[in-house]
A and B are shown apart, each in its own frame.
Chain A
């Protein structure tokens, strides 16, 4: 198997390179970077910057999916945290704004985790509740208006730069490192994979599966809240109707592209974030090519289908049989 399918992640890296190459053909200036006022500009930086919200969602989503769950509410949580951040931004300091917005994400995550881990609901159903009601709650916070703000601190979170890189990118990178350190630096990642692989067996082996499931949903909520704050800071306002709309689907897609199975078990944080970048590179490429952005959906559909078919247990079954046949012939 290792000879046929080399190291994990090669497919994703190759896919990213191919899409980057196509983008280069479509737009010759794609790889141009220039330094202006101490900040890098260019299509590549743009891809990273625009990809940040989905990448952050992906960090939480990949853990949830690894436990065999799914979180449909992340888009709605983004809307809620964005609404809170925008309404508090001009009257309170940044620490309070961040604490309130991320706290809201934590509460949302606790709610989802409670429904799934304690009440034993199906994850799709449990998170559907917040997906439906969450946007209503966000509307309630903004009173149905688009709330704008001018607090320089919060705006810096969306538009500032550190060492030439946009702040959102730095935050996403920091979160990736933090998540990876916590999950892979300890046995936590293994326990999460065990929970997703076989919850009952893990429970019997002494894994606190309920605590695992609860904590991944909480983390997913916090990541979504952070993505919501950044999205609000980026446009200097909160639009409860459209903030994070359909991003839950992009995040799930990114995780699937990153090779994590929807049936739980093994996961890879880095590959999932790579999946988010692949999606964003595609989006940017379509925008640059001058095709209407509506093509995005069609291209995405084709990509999802292709990735799914590659992951399909049946197909890998066929591949296994084919390999065995080849081996017996040789």
Chain B
């Protein structure tokens, strides 16, 4: 695909949007706002990283929002009611989320079912399970939580790079490296390009499918823990609709929804763009939060239409000169 890569377009949109916002509200261009942007969207960044892998492989994961909700409730109950040490609770919930994702991957692969509907069932299941645990918001008072919440690296200009923002950045960078530099990452692209070709080339399609959904649910579990740090509570209705936000971030980040192309960095930029819209609306004060949805919808459309155009352009020369196709 020649011309501007989608990630670059996303970056340009982010920079242009940021410049526009900064012209109207000069205060936006400060490390304080940047720090808040990263903190407020930490869980979204983590979960969208996992979603990127799933979508590049040609699938989709609708269950991530519910997994976050379940995780916050589980962690809160484990620490506050069952007296489990926080670290043990974290390990337990991460193992549980990974197993949940693996189970969805098994169902998708073994029974050859569309990921959309399997993860939809997973979404009902995880949300229902969190309702069963508790329908009330459970505050978390463990000392670890206040320690982590208070921890922050000072940035020049008074901004605070909080612990959860750091966790998110580490996961985004780790995810980008995993996707770009490892055999696992190459296989993810191969699966999204064509399942049959990938299988003929010797990719273990079943194992890969299971691993990819495991990764997505595991990251959703981490995002859930981060979310519980963010709100210091566990609530079964938290993170409703996050699956849509993260899919939107992935698409805005230039990942092809049909699979085969995309990047974690693009997704990260997509998360920042959504955060920027929210920040702008907060600064403005008169606009209501529903404008976020409309703006996200417009951006979604613009990026999907752009992809459609790029794909059409990329296909055309192949027909004309088959030998030159790369």
A residues apposed to B, CB below 8 Å: 70, 119-122, 124-126, 128-137, 139-140, 144, 240, 249, 252-253, 256, 262-263, 292, 294-302, 304-305, 308-309, 312-315
Contacts and interface: CB of A to CB of B under 8 A. Distances in A.
Interface stretch (B111-119, B163-171, B212-220): B111-119
Contact of B294 (A136, A252, A305, A313): A136
Contacts, number: 117
B111 A304 contact: no
A298 B132 contact: yes
In order of increasing CB-CB distance, the 8 nearest A-B pairs are A133-B297, A294-B131, A297-B128, A136-B293, A298-B128, A139-B290, A301-B124, A136-B294
B121 A124 contact: no
Nearest to B298: A133
B128 A308 contact: no
B314 to A, nearest CB: 14
A104 to B, nearest CB: 15
Contacts of A263: 114
Contacts of B247: 128
Contacts of B131: 292, 294-295, 297
Given A294-B132, A298-B125, 12 more contacts: A128-B244, A128-B248, A131-B244, A132-B300, A134-B297, A137-B294, A253-B120, A297-B128, A298-B129, A308-B118, A312-B111, A313-B112
Interface of B: 60, 107, 110-114, 116-118, 120-122, 124-125, 127-129, 131-132, 135, 236, 244, 247-248, 251, 257-258, 288, 290-294, 296-298, 300-301, 304-305, 308
A125 B304 contact: yes
A315 B125 contact: no
Given A304-B117, A308-B118, A298 B293 contact: no
Best-surrounded residue of A129, A240, A296 (most CB of chain B within 10 A): A129
Nearest to B302: A129
Contacts of B121: 301, 304-305, 308
B217 to A, nearest CB: 15
Nearest to B109: A314
B293 A301 contact: no
Contacts of B127: 297
B304 A312 contact: no
19 contacts: A128-B300, A129-B304, A131-B244, A132-B300, A133-B293, A133-B301, A136-B290, A136-B292, A139-B288, A140-B290, A256-B117, A262-B114, A300-B124, A301-B121, A301-B122, A301-B128, A304-B117, A304-B120, A305-B121
B124 A298 contact: yes
A219 B291 CA distance: 28
Contact of A119 (B114, B117, B305): B305
A300 B127 CA distance: 11
A305 B114 CA distance: 12
A128 B244 CA distance: 8
A203 B140 CA distance: 60
B300 A315 contact: no
Contacts of A119: 305, 308
A119 B302 CA distance: 12
Contacts of A126: 304
B111 to A, nearest CB: 4
A309 B60 contact: no
A129 B132 contact: no
B294 A133 contact: yes
A182 B111 CA distance: 36
Contacts of A299: 128
Contacts of A305: 107, 121
Contacts of B251: 125
B191 to A, nearest CB: 17
Contacts of A297: 124-125, 127-128, 131
A140 B294 contact: yes
Given A133-B296, A298-B128, A308 B111 contact: yes
A304 B294 contact: no
A273 B288 CA distance: 38
A314 B288 contact: no
A137 B298 CA distance: 11
Nearest to A309: B111
Contacts of B300: 128-129, 132-133
Given A294-B135, A312-B112, A122 B120 contact: no
A309 B258 CA distance: 25
Nearest to A124: B116
B104 to A, nearest CB: 10
A140 B288 CA distance: 9
A120 B124 contact: no
A132 B112 contact: no
A308 B257 contact: no
A69 B187 CA distance: 28
A122 B117 contact: no
Nearest to B121: A304
Nearest to B300: A129
Nearest to A131: B244
Contacts of A124: 60, 116, 257
A125 B122 CA distance: 20
A140 B290 CA distance: 8
B290 A315 contact: no
